[in-house]
Amino acid sequence: MEDFNSDPKPGRLILPLVLIGMIATTYTFVRSIEEEPVVDQTATEESVIEEEVAPVTEETTTTTTTTIPREVLEYIEELNSEKATIDALGQRVTEANARWDAKEVTYQEAQEEFKDNIVAAEQFVKNIAAPGPPDSNISLLQEHSALVSLANTIYLDTQEIFEGLMASDTGERRSDAIRTFNSNIELLKKRITLLVTQVTNG
C-alpha cells in the first residue's frame, strides 16, 4: 500500500530550522568575544599635556629705590619755601623802585620802602643760612654755602639800591643796582631748583 504524504515539499520545513540555528550560533559567537578595553582618552590627553608643558621660570626685575633721609627732605622743603620768599622779595624791590620812578611816592616814602627791603633781605640771609643740610652730606653743605653766599650778595644789592636812591646822579647807579639785584634773584632761584631736582631724582 503506498504511503500518503500530505506535504509535497517536506524540505521547506528544514530550511527555517537551519536559519534559526545559524542565527543562534552567530549570536553565541559574538557574545563570546571579549570586549576590547576602552582607552581613557581624557587620561591620555592629560598625560601628554603634562609632558609637553615646561616649567615656567619667573623673571624678576630688581628695582633699586633710593630712600632720601628725613633731614634732607626737610632741607629741600625749606629751600622751596625760601625760593618763594626770595621771589616775593624781588617783586617787592622792583615795585618800590617803579613807584619812585613814577613819582607815586615821596622821597621820604621811597627811602622808608628801600630800607624795609634791606631789612627783608637781611632776614632772608638768616633764614636760608640755618639750619641748612645735614652735616654728613658734604656735597649739600658745599652747595648750601654757595646759596648763602649768593643770598648775601642779594642783601648787598638792596643796600646798593638804597645808595643809588641817595646818590646825586640821575638814577644810573640805582638802575644798575636793580639790574644786578634781579639777575642775582633769578640765579638763586635757578640754583635752588637745580639742587632740589638733583636730590629728589637721586
Higher pLDDT, 122 or 2: 122
Distance, CA of 56 to CA of 3 (rounded, Å): 97
Q: What pLDDT was estimated at residue 136?
A: 86
| Of 136, 130, 165, nearest in space to 151 by CA | 130
Q: How far apart are the first and last CA of the chain?
A: 137
| CB-based contacts of 134, cutoff 8 Å, min separation 6 | 69, 71, 72, 75, 140
- Cα(172)–Cα(169) distance, integer angstroms: 7
- Per DSSP, 183 falls in state H
- Give the residue extent of every domain in the chain: 71-200
- Lowest-pLDDT range of 13-22, 43-52, 162-171, 177-186: 43-52
Least confident of 42-46, 174-178, 183-187: 42-46
- pLDDT (mean) for 101-126: 97
**pLDDT confidence of residue 26:** 66
| H/E element, 69 | none
Counting residues of the chain whose pLDDT is more than 90, the rounded percentage is 58
Mean pLDDT for all residues in the chain:
82
Tell me the pLDDT tens digit for each residue of 141-160: 999 999 999 999 999 999 99
Over range 5-15, report the average pLDDT. 59
The class level of CATH for 71-200 reads: mainly alpha
- Cα–Cα distance measured from residue 78 to residue 199, given in angstroms and rounded to the nearest whole number: 13
Write down the pLDDT at residue 7. Answer: 55
Neighbours of 116 (CB within 10 A): 14
Q: Where are the strands (E) in the chain, listed by range?
A: none
Neighbouring C-beta atoms of residue 82, cutoff 10 Å: 18
